[in-house]
Amino acid sequence: MTRQTTTATYSPEVRDRAVRLVLDHEGEYGSQWAAICSVASKFGCTAETLRRWVRQSERDRGDRAGLTTDDRARLKALERENRELRQANEILRKASAYFAMAELDRRFKP
């Protein structure tokens, strides 16, 4: 039996509002996790999803170590560019070898 997952997409405004509610009201709860669980149920997302949003928000503000959203986007773009350049280099290397072989064949034919 395969597990089917569904992904709900939340707008950035909804994410920001949910995170702001957690951060503004976490003092009213016994822990941040309790605040996350309470707010998540009001927004219709899982507590784990909201926890990840809160952690990323903390990284973006510099309150937590790790890559910010901008750094993640830049890293992803650089990795994509690196992958494309490696593919281009591989194509050029194969083309160079092919034409070198063709040149050798041409030289030795009478």
First to last CA, the chain: 66
Q: Please state, for a pLDDT cut of 70, what percent of the chain lies above it.
A: 90
Q: What confidence category does residue 108 fall into, taking pLDDT thresholds of 50, 70 and 90? A: low
Task: Give whole-number Cα distances, 1 to 4, 7, 94, in Å.
Answer: 9, 19, 44
The CATH number fitting domain 9-66, selected from 1.10.10.10, 3.40.50.150, 1.10.1740.10, 3.40.50.10470: 1.10.10.10
Instruction: Give pLDDT, residue 9.
Output: 87
Residue spans of the domains in the chain: they are: 9-66, 69-110
What does residue 106 show for φ and ψ, rounded to 5 degrees?
A: -65, -35
Instruction: Give pLDDT, residue 101.
Output: 87
- The residue ranking higher by pLDDT, 37 or 4, is 37
In the predicted model, what is the mean pLDDT of residues 20-43? 95
Q: What confidence category does residue 104 fall into, taking pLDDT thresholds of 50, 70 and 90? A: confident
pLDDT in tens, 49-98: 999 999 999 999 999 999 999 999 999 999 999 999 999 999 999 999 99
Instruction: Give pLDDT, residue 105.
Output: 76
Q: What confidence category does residue 3 fall into, taking pLDDT thresholds of 50, 70 and 90? A: low
